[in-house]
Structure 1
Amino acid sequence: MLTVKVHSRSRVPGPPRAFPNQPRAGAPPQSKLDTYPRSLLIKSENDKRVTSIVQELFNSSHQENLQMVDNAMLHTKRSKTSSLMAIFSFLRQVEPGALVISQAAEVFEKNLQTLKDNAKWRHKRDLAGLELLPLEDVELMADLSGCPPPTHPAICLQQSPLDNYRSISGLCNNRHNPTWGAANTALVRWLPAQYEDGEKQPKGWNLGRLHNGFPLPLVEAVSKKIIKSSLKWKEDVYSQLMIEWGQFIDHDITFTPQSTRDAADLGIDCLNTCQNVHPCFPIQSHDLQSAAKSCMPFFRSSPACIGNFGLAKKHVFQRQQLNIITSFIDASVVYGHTPELQSLLRNFSSLSGRLAINNSFKDGEDRSYLPSVDATPSACFQDPRAPQGERVECFAAGDNRVNEGLSLIVLHTLWLREHNRVAGALKVLNSHWSKETVYQETRKIIGALHQIITMRDYIPKIIGQDSFDRYIGPYIGYDPTVNPSASNVFATAAFRFGHATISTVVRRLNESFQTHEHLPPLRLHHTFFSPWRIVKEGGIEPVLRGLMGTAATSVSTDKLMSEEVTEKLAVLNTPWKLDLAALNLQRGRDHALAGYNDWREFCGLKRLKAKEDFQDVVKDKIIVNKILKMYKHPDNIDVWLGGLVEDLLKDSRNGPLFSCLIAKQMKLLRDGDRFWWEAQGTFTKHQITELSKSSLSRIICDNSEVTEVPLDAFKYGKYPDDLLPCSLIPNISLEAWREKKNTGKLVAHYICYHGFRLKGTEKLECNENRWSDPPPECIGR
């Protein structure tokens, strides 16, 4: 079937409007509360009679639960001013819309728990959610708790700009399923959650609870005995820049905030308790020398509002986790994921649709830096040698994790500059374009470059070409039946494989790619939250050369993660030594991810039942013995650990399981994105040809003072033999975006449905009452 969109070229498309996808704040109207209990049916096993006591309890407890969560949020916000809260608050700050949704989900959980507690008292036993609420009442209860109402597909048909540009929130990318891939929605489950109570208690929540006949090992013990290493090997195939790109693009796809509720209503501080009380799920440790037990603070991930009523009935009440950013590879890491954040990052005084830049600092060549955050003084470290009162505040970007390390700051800075470079060029080519059109067209190009670099240059290297061909394959067009939302296992386990490749040292190199005379290498923990090092220590170039001129860290089962991230992670004047490996394992249990064996079966791989099976996928017998000794049963192995220790596939940086899970996610992100750069109608054939010439090396050449680069920035090469001058790196010609001024002509664009390809021209112009070409046809592939 052929879809034809006819419009006048004299009409310049405007910006996508903000969509009403944010929930209202505050308590629901009292009138709804008054009427709701008539629909709340608490049925006994015998007579199915309405339990009025529970109805009354819900009516009276709802406002109390709402106020309790409000107070806890206020307590948390006030606590953020203390140095002890700095690391936790700064790492997981979220915008107000996500906080409102998270709050509503907390209220829903508390309301449900109130009903359960009363029902348990009445019926003398624990009742599951479905025994309390029929499915027809779940949506109403979610609405009363403040959860956003379902988004009707009709809203997508009313927004004409969606034909040209993606919305900033990702809403309506899929016209029939508006929230697929959108910000502030739940991470999807490819396998059901495995909570200890079936609904919300993480694995390991109940001390002494047996899994397959054995207790789960403490994640801190797993980290120390299996994961921690004092040494990482180097390889000479890929550069450290490839590792950093993985983190950068991960920040474009997923961001799961921590719970907003601080347990203040229970008189418990998550920073100073070793008890498992929502939302505190502390990481228990055991000092063998002193026999003293202690713990590391851990906040559970924020819950998501119940919104997918197509789930199997038994899974409706399971706690889901929130992804507050868009799942698409859409450069949200540059532009943000809400209209408010997008506006803060733009320079509206510019006629060429540019992004805002730093008003206080520029580099020696007058190149721009990222703008500073509005709230000052910010939490970032300062130069200890700087005069009193002289500060370099945290940078602002589309993702607030930008300040976590120097490498992230460098990549964010490159893309800020690239946007402004492209926007300026497009305005010169099309002086009749409005600044909004220039901004949107540039954003569209930058999003495409993110997709190309990720899918063409990065993904085949980390999963291997064989896995790419098997699970992803060639692109055949947009498929509206594909849900591109990020999966829980991808965000929480599979794409965290890169944590095992983090380098312990950040090297800064001079123009000859040798150690910089004035800028020595930095231990990793000295680079956290330190934007001053970019501004005051040579700009982005020394770090860029260090990333390209340093071999990537290899993965080895006996040297998984450096002490830099298992003992010294992101310490901001706190008394705790954070352990990234333990945090990852605990996060997987918090999210109730299915075990390693279940995920192997999901990918069509053999379940491991005996030591011999394990040694087929992990050749290191010592590691196999350690894991089986600690976990006792193969089905108990945490999926992140199991995927991490598998032997790597050929020409890959992952074993079979993670290669499968990453590939499946990437295929969904590609095929389910209506605005994918290769999708019919997104760009013209000429523009696609030009975009295909792009590379991260070219981005570096165009936006820094680096003059020599590898042809592929992800491949490690030695200076000078393996580097090329920027003049030899292919460039995109933006002439493909030159548009004639208003002629008043009619233009017809032709697009085929998924599964068909267009034979003939995709665009016809009406000249003197005649079309420029014969109409095309849609034929089967």
Structure 2
Amino acid sequence: MVRSNYPNGVNSWPKASDGGELPNTREISMKIFIPKHKVEHKWNLNTQQWGQIVAHDLSLTAGPDVTKLGRPVCCDDNGRIAEDASTHPLCHHIPIPPSDDVHIPEGRECLNFIRTSSTKDINCTGLHDRAAPLSVVTSYMDLSLTYGNDEKHAKAIREGSGGRLWTTVRNGYEWPPQSGNVKKDCIGAHSTDEPCYLLGDGRGNQSPQLTTLHIILVNEHNRIADALSKLNPHWDDEKIYQEARRIAIAETQHINYYEYLPILLGKRNMVAKKLIYPDVRATKGYVNDYDPNVSAAIYKEYASAAFRHFHTMIRGQLELITEDRTLAQSVRLSDWFNRPALLEKDNGFDDLIRGLSYQEADKSDEYWDLEVTRNLFKGNRSSGSDLRAMDIQRGRDHGLGTYMQLRAHCNLPLVDRFEELKRYMSKENVKKLKKLYESVEDIDLVVGGSLENHQPGALVGPTFLCILLQQFLNIRIGDRYFYENGQDQEIAFTLPQLNSIRYGASMARLLCDNGHKITWMQRRAFELVSDKNPLLRCDELHEVNLKLWQEDAKSNDN
């Protein structure tokens, strides 16, 4: 969006406008993004958790190329500054500030941080050319987190018959196969015998509710594949797999644009920007807005700042909810990082699904849960890392433009003095910014954008809204396979198929169809249960009519 903010024009670490150091990111986290629980009164925890599904589908920063750059240790497991810290080009650990009353008493000196591999690291740019961070997943909304991002991985998770993804049966239920490297993929596991799933994305075992949604998407693919196999017994494995994949992607695109994103961005804002077309949907036609001149590539301002804002909605205590909507148990998120065994304990999988739809999310604000600012990936240690500090540090790593530079890019009013920021955020936060930063020109985009007063109907302020609207517009119109596009009839859904997806695809139906014994769900499954959004029997919810994909075997032969 804006030119990279590297002082040397290539990839050097950002500096303050006066040439000095920017404030410590751990200190920013402690002083501004303090722990205070203010929960949503309308949106449930799935509003936060599904966002991680969307985020992981679109981007994943590349780690070091170990064949060329090694695997640096910048800050060791004990929080001590390691030898690599001062010598390895990818090391940029976060020093623990003296005011840190959590880590200083433990003797920790730093939080580990490894820079993203860039075009410079793999010799894709010249010696003096500006580096760009690399992503290792597709930028399209194509469920790459379910199907994998390369041919080898995609084949490894397929069953090889009936178009299905690979599953194994335990205790009467299907689960994704066990990972071949539990110590790497599930470092929180207490033993290698615990469940640790081989999924389309290496981050899939990161937290219990993320893993739950991954498995729901695997189950949805197989549910569709099984139906298509019965409807079209003459189809081979590849045909069934590709068509089931296409339908599952279309369902999630529909959920994202017409059900999920309006919560974050505001329906009116999306209509005005032409991200959604309620009128065309009502007339049951195609939306032919594909533009071959638009790139669907991911803006680093989106991936490293704007969408990361919604980490604020994470809850540190996860509620597992029974079918009659009572609390089965409550668990600490930090006890289950990279340890998905909770899903197969008793009714854990279904209870987590219901918890997603029944527990309130934290509010979209500047307050963060200690489970992710003090105990992130803590394992058996007394404390862990800090997600907010990491977000800010990653923004600097990627050379993001400053808060003021992005406001300028979005044609928003600029300010010269901290006091003028009170027009756009609370007085208290302006005071905190003034104590931390020397100049308004230095405020990190990750920080300033998160503190803005929200736009009407949205869960973000104007700067992040500008970035997010443009990003999701590009993802839509830069993808000729986007589900509502009918310009190329060889790849488009028929209108009856498209309208069945519009009518029947929903988050509620996705949860109902792919739990083990889920029989009740509210129609608007990102919204808390209420008198206006009551629980319904799953069979009362609309569904996609897969019979519309039935093909005459004889006509196909001709």
Whether the 8 Å contact between 2:527 and 2:533 is mirrored in structure 1 is: no
Q: What is the identity, as a one-letter code, of the residue corresponding to 2:111?
A: M
For residue 373 of structure 2, what is the aligned residue in structure 1? 566
Q: Could you give the per-residue CA deviations for residues 411-453 of structure 1, whole angstroms, max 9, x where no partner exists?
A: 0111111111110111111111111100000000011111111
Runs (5+) with no aligned partner, structure 2: 278-286
1:581 lines up with 2:388 in the alignment: yes
Q: Which moved more, 1:338-347 or 1:195-204?
A: 195-204
Q: 1:316 to 1:671 in 2, by over 3 A?
A: farther
1:541 lines up with 2:350 in the alignment: yes
Q: What is the identity, as a one-letter code, of the residue corresponding to 1:584?
A: D
Q: Which moved more, 1:607-616 or 1:438-447?
A: 607-616
For residue 658 of structure 1, what is the aligned residue in structure 2? 464
For residue 590 of structure 1, what is the aligned residue in structure 2? 397
Equivalent position SS for 1:445: helix
**Any residues of structure 2 matched to 1:260-271 within 5 Å, and which?**
260=65, 271=76
Q: 1:684 aligned to 470, 477, 494, which one?
A: 494
Q: 1:267 to 1:545 in 2, by over 3 A?
A: closer
- The whole-number CA distance in structure 2 between the counterparts of 1:415 and 1:256 is 23
Q: Which moved more, 1:212-221 or 1:696-705?
A: 212-221
Shift of 1:478: 1.2
Shift of 1:466: 3.1
Whether the 8 Å contact between 1:382 and 1:392 is mirrored in structure 2 is: no
- The whole-number CA distance in structure 1 between the counterparts of 2:375 and 2:71 is 31
Equivalent position SS for 1:521: strand
Whether the 8 Å contact between 2:75 and 2:110 is mirrored in structure 1 is: no
Q: 1:392 to 1:316 in 2, by over 3 A?
A: same
Whether the 8 Å contact between 2:365 and 2:450 is mirrored in structure 1 is: no
Q: Could you give the per-residue CA deviations for residues 513-535 of structure 1, whole angstroms, max 9, x where no partner exists?
A: 1111xxx2011101211211111
Q: 1:398 aligned to 162, 176, 200, which one?
A: 200
Equivalent position SS for 2:109: strand
**Any residues of structure 2 matched to 1:443-592 within 5 Å, and which?**
443-473=245-275, 474=277, 475-516=287-328, 520-557=329-366, 560-573=367-380, 577-592=384-399
For residue 431 of structure 1, what is the aligned residue in structure 2? 233
Q: 1:293 to 1:547 in 2, by over 3 A?
A: closer
Whether the 8 Å contact between 2:372 and 2:386 is mirrored in structure 1 is: yes
Q: 1:269 to 1:708 in 2, by over 3 A?
A: closer
Shift of 1:404: 0.7
Q: 1:284 aligned to 72, 79, 95, which one?
A: 95
**Any residues of structure 2 matched to 1:306-345 within 5 Å, and which?**
317-345=129-157
Shift of 1:267: 10
Q: Could you give the per-residue CA deviations for residues 132-172 of structure 1, whole angstroms, max 9, x where no partner exists?
A: xxxxxxxxxxxxxxxxxxxxxxxxxxxxxxxxxxxxxxxxx
Equivalent position SS for 2:453: coil
1:671 lines up with 2:477 in the alignment: yes
For residue 613 of structure 1, what is the aligned residue in structure 2? 420
Q: 1:647 aligned to 445, 453, 456, which one?
A: 453
Shift of 1:663: 1.0
Whether the 8 Å contact between 1:472 and 1:663 is mirrored in structure 2 is: no
Shift of 1:259: 2.3
Whether the 8 Å contact between 1:287 and 1:293 is mirrored in structure 2 is: no
Equivalent position SS for 1:724: strand
Shift of 1:637: 0.5
Equivalent position SS for 1:709: strand
- The whole-number CA distance in structure 1 between the counterparts of 2:497 and 2:290 is 18
Whether the 8 Å contact between 1:262 and 1:279 is mirrored in structure 2 is: no
Q: 1:392 to 1:281 in 2, by over 3 A?
A: same
Q: What is the identity, as a one-letter code, of the residue corresponding to 1:337?
A: N
Q: 1:191 to 1:293 in 2, by over 3 A?
A: same
- The whole-number CA distance in structure 2 between the counterparts of 1:495 and 1:267 is 28
Equivalent position SS for 1:493: helix
Q: 1:262 to 1:225 in 2, by over 3 A?
A: farther
Q: 1:367 aligned to 157, 165, 173, which one?
A: 173
For residue 212 of structure 2, what is the aligned residue in structure 1? 410
Equivalent position SS for 2:321: coil
Equivalent position SS for 1:287: coil
Whether the 8 Å contact between 2:334 and 2:379 is mirrored in structure 1 is: no
- The whole-number CA distance in structure 2 between the counterparts of 1:266 and 1:409 is 27
- The whole-number CA distance in structure 2 between the counterparts of 1:739 and 1:308 is 50
Shift of 1:368: 1.1
- The whole-number CA distance in structure 1 between the counterparts of 2:436 and 2:319 is 37
Q: Could you give the per-residue CA deviations for residues 111-145 of structure 1, whole angstroms, max 9, x where no partner exists?
A: xxxxxxxxxxxxxxxxxxxxxxxxxxxxxxxxxxx
Runs (5+) with no aligned partner, structure 1: 1-189, 205-209, 747-781
Which structure would you say has the larger RCO, counting Cα contacts within 8 Å and 6 or more residues apart? 2
1:711 lines up with 2:504 in the alignment: no
- The whole-number CA distance in structure 2 between the counterparts of 1:644 and 1:265 is 35
Whether the 8 Å contact between 2:452 and 2:461 is mirrored in structure 1 is: yes
Q: 1:265 to 1:535 in 2, by over 3 A?
A: closer
Whether the 8 Å contact between 1:296 and 1:578 is mirrored in structure 2 is: yes
Q: Could you give the per-residue CA deviations for residues 290-340 of structure 1, whole angstroms, max 9, x where no partner exists?
A: 79992212111111369999x9x9x97112111100001011111001000
1:604 lines up with 2:411 in the alignment: yes
Whether the 8 Å contact between 1:494 and 1:658 is mirrored in structure 2 is: yes
Q: 1:721 to 1:307 in 2, by over 3 A?
A: closer
- The whole-number CA distance in structure 1 between the counterparts of 2:108 and 2:441 is 27
Q: Could you give the per-residue CA deviations for residues 377-398 of structure 1, whole angstroms, max 9, x where no partner exists?
A: 55536776xxxx7812421111
- The whole-number CA distance in structure 2 between the counterparts of 1:213 and 1:306 is 26
Q: What is the identity, as a one-letter code, of the residue corresponding to 1:722?
A: P
Whether the 8 Å contact between 2:497 and 2:548 is mirrored in structure 1 is: yes
* RMSD of equivalent CA atoms: 2.7
For residue 297 of structure 1, what is the aligned residue in structure 2? 112
Shift of 1:372: 1.2
Q: 1:642 to 1:720 in 2, by over 3 A?
A: closer
Equivalent position SS for 2:309: helix
For residue 733 of structure 1, what is the aligned residue in structure 2? 545
Shift of 1:212: 3.8
- The whole-number CA distance in structure 1 between the counterparts of 2:419 and 2:355 is 42
- The whole-number CA distance in structure 2 between the counterparts of 1:380 and 1:346 is 21
- The whole-number CA distance in structure 2 between the counterparts of 1:234 and 1:267 is 39
Whether the 8 Å contact between 1:472 and 1:664 is mirrored in structure 2 is: no
Whether the 8 Å contact between 1:472 and 1:666 is mirrored in structure 2 is: no
Q: 1:276 to 1:716 in 2, by over 3 A?
A: farther
Q: 1:269 to 1:575 in 2, by over 3 A?
A: farther
For residue 284 of structure 2, what is the aligned residue in structure 1? none
Give % identity: 28
Shift of 1:237: 0.8
Shift of 1:706: 1.2
- The whole-number CA distance in structure 2 between the counterparts of 1:325 and 1:738 is 33
TM value normalised by structure 1: 0.64
- The whole-number CA distance in structure 2 between the counterparts of 1:525 and 1:264 is 31
Whether the 8 Å contact between 2:188 and 2:379 is mirrored in structure 1 is: no
- Structure exhibiting the larger radius of gyration computed from Cα positions: 1
Shift of 1:216: 1.3
Q: What is the identity, as a one-letter code, of the residue corresponding to 2:333?
A: L
Whether the 8 Å contact between 1:507 and 1:543 is mirrored in structure 2 is: yes
For residue 202 of structure 1, what is the aligned residue in structure 2? 13
- The whole-number CA distance in structure 2 between the counterparts of 1:298 and 1:377 is 21
